[in-house]
Structure 1
Amino acid sequence: MAYAQVNGVRLWYESHGAGRPLVLLHGGFGAVENFETMLPALTARRRVVGVDLQAHGRTADVDRPLRYETMADDVAALVVHLSLAEVDLLGYSLGGGVALRTAIQHRHLVRRLVVVSAPCRRQGWYPEVLAAMAEQDAAYGERMRGTPPHQRYERMAPRPGDWPALWAKTGELLRREYDWSAEVAALTTPTLLVFADADSVRAAHMVEFFGLLGGGHRDAGWDGVGRPAARLAVLPGLTHYDILDSPALPAAVLPFLTHPAGPPT
């Protein structure tokens, strides 16, 4: 457990287990601890490197906006700093967007990509989710004092008083339009998309996202020769808010990280 100075950010990371590195990126207002339920299953087979992104967990904020692209650059710089070479990368929600941008911007560093409960364009969220995102600001953060995310932040953050500023910066990020469809379509990194069947991401967008990666266009055939390199998992009985705590998530992720990608040869 340590800090790495990258891109002007003192980035907190922690490493567990041994083997090929798997980097984990948490969701908004979260920290590495968001993955504690699935960590034992992952560390049994992999070296897991958890990262607290800019302004989250034990990583203090810096004088720059929150952007998926710059946080992706931070993750890439950490991978190089730790001499990890080619990593597998798993991101959830906000971290899913950062993981996707890392694979797009630094594809030579990412062997396999897992995006959990995150869209590839802003309109992939349900309208009511977008409406809630639009309300996030410093005042909303003040109303969230005493909640479990705030309690965790107070316990970990180098400057606990930055809590309202985190909400202001996050709200500004979430109100920005983005559409990475063209870049996703050009992505060659083997990718697994994982969603809950009652996610905050629209079901139609899950299929759209998978299609951009080459999935869902044809029957794979009896021998599986038409199977795409991308994978799609929709986990039943779960939501955007409890998917990380389900044993179904590592059960879906680990085979993808272990087995050969693409159709059988």
Structure 2
Amino acid sequence: MHRLVFALVLMLSAPAVTAMAARAAERWEILPPTPTPIAADRSGDAAVNGISIHYCVYGKGTPVILLHGGLANSDYWGHQITALAPNHMVIVMDSRGHGRSTRDARGFGYDLMADDVVALMDVLGVRKADIVGWSDGGIIGLDLALRHKDRVGKIFAFAANSLTSGVKDEVEKSPTFAAYLARAGREYQAHSSTPDTYDDFLAQISKMWAEQPNWTDGQLQSIQSPVWIVDGDHDEAIRREHTEYLAATIPHAGLLILPNASHFAFLQDPDMFNRAMLRFLDGK
């Protein structure tokens, strides 16, 4: 795949672009609601890697695993589940310690969370899957491409970073991101089996963010999976130059910047996000 920088005109017609700009010039500043959970074809809590991972499965076809961002849960993927389920077996999971999944005494780390994904795949009998990841989920997707090359196909990495320096300073001061942090705390208390431990959970995740990831150019250059590096043009968290660096360093990676969208583009404009996602996964 040649290196590609996709403009919005590849995604939408000119009239749609004009209408969108007139309708929602400040869309990137809004944090839409978390989607309502969708009834799954099957769901459960799998005992894997020393913890319990909550998962849901939708549809039939080639497997796609959706990996949510830090502090979130799998409900955030509602708009993407409906887009993918007609032609794919869609697997969503709450990462360790997030949502309805549990954690143990081990510190959070991307290698550990990538191993959790593979362990769940083994339980579900899925040999290989494409990955759509947001933020921490995108990092986990790239970790899978580095350490479990034979278990993953395509990687759609949205708002990911490979170095701690790729994250903007004082991101939590963004009103949109601050609203997300507040919501994440409420959702943790609603879903977790240990609802009173959010402060410790946040401290542990923050420690991971301060120290990881720290991949070298050589590691990124070893990735063999087809990859698209995707972000919103107003991402509150990830530096644009870092997003461009990732796409330039991973062999044959594509680069896509979604307009008038932020770290939460999949909620802010799910139609645009899903078109990009399906174009990458299915060539549509």
> Quick one: which of 260, 271, 277 aligns to 1:253?
277
Aligned to 1:154: 189
TM-score (norm 2): 0.78
* Structure 1 CA distance for aligned equivalents of residues 190 and 199 of structure 2: 15
Q: Does residue 1:211 correspond to 2:234, yes or no?
A: no
Deviation at 1:50, TM superposition (A): 0.3
Q: Does residue 1:238 correspond to 2:245, yes or no?
A: no
Tell me which amino acid in the other structure corresponds to 1:66. Answer: F
Q: Secondary structure at the match of 2:69?
A: coil
Let me know the Cα RMSD of the aligned residues: 2.2
Aligned to 1:76: 118
Q: Secondary structure at the match of 1:113?
A: strand
Question: Which of the pair is proportionally richer in helix?
Answer: 2
Deviation at 1:178, TM superposition (A): 3.5
> Quick one: which of 143, 167, 182 aligns to 2:218?
182
Q: Which has the higher contact order (CA 8 A, sep 6+)?
A: 2
* Structure 2 CA distance for aligned equivalents of residues 177 and 128 of structure 1: 17
The answer on whether the counterparts of 2:261 and 2:268 sit within 8 Å (CA) in structure 1 is no
Deviation at 1:27, TM superposition (A): 0.7
Q: Which stretches in structure 1 are left out of the alignment for 5+ residues?
A: 134-142, 215-227, 261-265
The answer on whether the counterparts of 2:48 and 2:119 sit within 8 Å (CA) in structure 1 is yes
* Structure 2 CA distance for aligned equivalents of residues 104 and 114 of structure 1: 14
Aligned to 2:66: 24
Aligned to 2:161: 119
Report how many aligned residue pairs link the two structures. Answer: 235
Tell me which amino acid in the other structure corresponds to 1:256. Answer: F
Aligned to 2:95: 53
TM-score (norm 1): 0.83
Deviation at 1:35, TM superposition (A): 0.8
Deviation at 1:177, TM superposition (A): 4.7
Q: Does residue 1:166 correspond to 2:190, yes or no?
A: no
Aligned to 2:233: 197
Q: Does residue 1:91 correspond to 2:115, yes or no?
A: no
Deviation at 1:245, TM superposition (A): 3.8
Q: 1:53 to 1:150 in 2, by over 3 A?
A: same
